[in-house]
Chains A and B, each alone.
Chain A
Amino acid sequence: MELLLASAIGLLAAGGTYLCLRARTFPVVLGLTLLSYAVNLFIFAAGGLRIGQPPIVGASLAMSDPLPQALVLTAIVIGFAMTAYLVVLAVRARAETGGDHVDGGA
């Protein structure tokens, strides 16, 4: 199972990186989204894998590690704001330069 998650993280990171290296803004935004999935899962994985043991006191005997979850939770929300900001930046750049190349222009 660990290998499964690790390979998923690797795939997400590879896909995200490849899209980040594209020349147009929209694929870059998608790439960053994929990268943030990868990184969030990565940090989450730092706490180890557990099934059916949510970090709720009294819910089960053992408990998954709550700290990485707390860190990832805010990271997800911030990632959303970043994505939104980037896409708005792309829209604005299109309005200003008439194109969507990452270096500006068409």
Chain B
Amino acid sequence: MTPAALLYAVVALPFAGAVLPALLHVRGRTLVGWVAAAAPVAGLLILWFLGSQVFDGGTWRVSVPWMDAIGLYLSFRLDGLALLFCGLIFIIGLLVILYARYYLAADDPFGRLLALLLVFMGAMVGIALSDNLLLTLVFWEATSLSSFLLIGYWSDRPDARQGARMALAVTGMGGLALLAGALLLGDMAGTFEISELVRHGDAIRAHPHYTAALVLILIGAFTKSAQFPFQFWLPNAMAAPTPVSAYLHSATMVKAGVFLLARLWPALSGTDQWFYLVTSTGLVTLVFGAYTALFRHDLKGLLAYSTIAHLGLIVLLLGMNSKMAAVAAVFHIMNHATFKASLFMAAGIIDHEAGTRDMRKIAGLWRYLPHTAVLATVAAAAMAGVPLLNGFLSKEMFFDETLALKRAGTVSWIVPAAVTLASVFSVAYSTRFIHDVFFNGEWKRAGPVPHEPPRWMRIPVEVLVALCLLVGIAPDATVGPMLAVAAGSVVGGALPDYSLAVWHGFNGAVVMSVIATVLGLVLYFGAQRVYDLHAFEGRSPWTGARLYQMVIDWLIAFTRGFTRLTADGRLQRQVALLLLVAIVAGWWSFAQGVPGRSLDRYMPLDGIALIGWLVLAICLVGAVAMHRQRLTALMLVGAVGLMVSATFAWFSAPDLALTQLTVEVATILVLLLALPFLPEATPLESSAPRRLRDAIIALACGFGLGGAAWWMMTTSGATVSAEYVVRSLPQGGGTNVVNVILVDFRGFDTYGEITVLAVAGLGITALLAGASHATRSESGDGPQFRPILFTLLARTMVPLALLLSVYLFLRGHNLPGGGFVAALVTGAALGTLYVAQGVAWSRRHVPIDFTRVMAIGMAIAAATGAGAWLFGRPFLTSAHGYVHLPLVGDLHLSTAALFDLGVYLVVVGVTMLIVTELGRLTPTARPASR
């Protein structure tokens, strides 16, 4: 085993770790917290071990097939970008676990939160490490699902449920688009392995499907990363507990979208479509998010819109088709994760201590929470892009890039202008976050006086804020190497020259920063003074959430209406509609033209066949015309069945003829037994137009099926049967190809079919066992008239029929016969005996529990199939051989015969179960006919 195999452990650890908190949650929070922390700690240690090679420019990769045929491999690859993301996921995950230990109220189930967080963590690590696009999608969906559960953690709150549903609907829809895009992309590149795929960038960009695939993939990434116009789910997801928001909505889940864009950057970027779609989305999102954030009164709402804006910023950078911009994007991903996670945690502390997150109700917390205030101020300053903090560095790189952008031609100035505007808002809302909460007057709320949170609850915030400072002051020494390898794996080649110094001299970016800072402060304090920011009520009818709700409402109304229209509970109407759809669909596909070459020779007509046809037609028409006289109709249907059986016999299908004949007997028997429990006659209730309509539908169906049959018989087509025929004797050991196909070549099919039979038998037993006692008699031997001739005949016939069925069974592999036919002969004979003699008599003389017969049959069939496993063969592989016995001669033995015995027993069991169960009902309890 190579060290690379440890990557499997990195992905599997969080999933495995998720089980423990769920089991141990009763043992106290601290223990559960430690147990949950084990998985990310172990993951970090492994990354530490593998990381040195990544920093030297190498990668680790493992791959085993999962579904080879569709190109799905369990491929994991650790390169710089994956290392960066896994590090973020594990480190911030650890801090969030620690924070959540103190955040949750005493009656919130901590174990469940941790279990879900770890599942989510595993899914995120899977996305980061996956080197197969399809595998990425699997983990992508896993993050959607686990985040649904996390957002809806407080499932008793309607806003949590609504927010969770919305997030799932939007990201799930995006996931579908992404799936389609990924399939297109894999098709274009000829592989789903990402490290292979990105090398085919030129071929992909030149492919005619490029734009379609790009749009689909972008929809997937934009929904996940809350880009305009899909951003609305993120603010609604703020109903999640704050640790979840700090984790999902700052550092991980929403970064999955930009991660994917970065991952596929070498394959997809560089074109005009990429540039315009990605930069415009990023720019609109950036400005929209930053503007909206200023007017949110909810602390987490402000942070949510700020996150949307920062994600827009990253997307904008990735869209610029410049390597330097990609470096800046990666840098900002790191920085945003640190300051935003700490701000969410600070917001959670404020919520905890002040009892509300509404900035209109909080003021002057500085006096009560000085420590938290300092931490929050530093983090907010990083968010605003104040020098000596990490946010400043990536923002300056970002400004530089927008100034360097010449691609948009003469209107290129729009981008730096819009970005500066967004920065003005960014400074303003960052200032608001601090000023509104910690200053802005005195603490006036009633209730307990706020105080600093527990020591350990602040530590995660302190760690993150310290990181903001360290990176901001000494970027090269702290994140320089990490950024270099991470950005290196995005751009896939040599990195452009860049410097992480705090001061680059007086340049355009600095001017933009100064303008943004000054105007931002002016905007916030001006807005405070001139308007009352707290009185602002943002109620636009066109918010995304409202549009979403309209779409959902419309969908529900539409489906309800459609259901009412098509499935109103009246079966006849539904069946008629289904048939009409089938007729139209069948006609339509026939109208498209049918393949195949027409045969020019037909089989000549002969007189016997014509007579048979006439008998069938007369009986059929009679059955339909007289269907209201039930017994007559039943007899006529029986006659039709005999003609069908004759048809099989005539056209070289002896097995089918035998089966149809015996099934016919059994069917008529069962229907006869059931008739006394149904009304004698059918009332005429359909109106004449209704009957005409039904007749038209019926004739159309008949014409369609008959026409298709005609076309099929007169068109030459390839058949796969030749192989079965050739292999039948040497490999199946039988000359009756039909039987060999049933019990050997397609034995698994047959196994499924006898299972269906057994289930039907059990269903019938259950249905009749549950019938009210009025229709049930255990004796079943009422004073009934039994024709003596019938009784005698039945009793004589049974041994003969049993002998015949043994004969049919034994010869089945080579001549017409086999398990099905033999069983039906047995069943028909025994069934006749039951009818002739009554249930009680028959039970005394044939004391067999047919449910057991059925079960034994299933067991024999299953055991025969499983026996092949002992020889290392797939289920139901058959073996056969010849054994020489003295006097008897060569005896042919085959496991297929044993399987056929299972089939025989199941069919006998089911047939007899039906007959006996129906026979036990007594006709004396027959409800009066109406």
Contacts and interface: CB of A to CB of B under 8 A. Distances in A.
Contacts of A37: 640-641, 644
B701 A17 contact: yes
A99 B609 CA distance: 42
B624 A78 contact: no
Contacts of B621: 11, 15
A33 B619 CA distance: 14
A48 B718 CA distance: 11
Interface stretch (B364-372, B732-740, B795-803): B732-740
Interface string B680-710: 0011011000000011011101111111111
B677 A91 contact: yes
B31 interface: no
Nearest to A83: B667
B725 A57 contact: yes
Contact of A8 (B613, B663, B735, B930): B613
A44 B649 CA distance: 12
Contacts of B569: 103
A45 to B, nearest CB: 5
Contacts of B634: 30
Contacts of B624: 15, 18-19
Given A1-B604, A77-B824, A84 B572 contact: no
A48 B715 CA distance: 9
B485 interface: no
Contact of A81 (B617, B760, B771): B760
Interface in A23-50: 23-27, 29-30, 33-34, 37-42, 44-50
B111 interface: no
Interface in B745-788: 746, 749-750, 753, 756-757, 760-761, 763-764, 767-768, 770-772, 774-775
Given A55-B736, A85-B760, A15 B666 contact: no
B660 interface: yes
B651 A51 contact: yes
B677 A17 contact: no
B456 interface: no
B713 A2 contact: yes
B880 interface: no
Given A69-B738, A96-B772, A78 B725 contact: no
A36 B81 CA distance: 61
Contacts of B775: 91, 95
Contacts of A106: 930
Contact of B702 (A11, A33, A45, A96): A11
A73 B655 contact: yes
A14 to B, nearest CB: 3
A1 B602 contact: yes
B292 interface: no
Nearest to A33: B637
Contacts of B571: 102-103
Contacts of A54: 652-654, 816
Contacts of A13: 698, 701-702, 704-706
A46 to B, nearest CB: 5
Q: Which 10 A-B pairs have the closest CB atoms?
A: A10-B706, A14-B702, A6-B710, A18-B698, A66-B737, A1-B603, A17-B698, A70-B741, A81-B760, A57-B735
Interface of B: 569-572, 575-576, 579, 602-606, 609-610, 613, 616-617, 620-621, 623-624, 627-628, 630, 633-634, 637, 640-641, 644, 647-648, 650-656, 659-660, 663, 666-667, 670-671, 674-675, 677-679, 682-683, 685-686, 694-695, 697-699, 701-710, 712-714, 719-721, 724-725, 728-729, 735-738, 741-742, 746, 749-750, 753, 756-757, 760-761, 763-764, 767-768, 770-772, 774-775, 814-816, 820, 824, 907, 910-911, 914, 917-918, 921, 927, 930
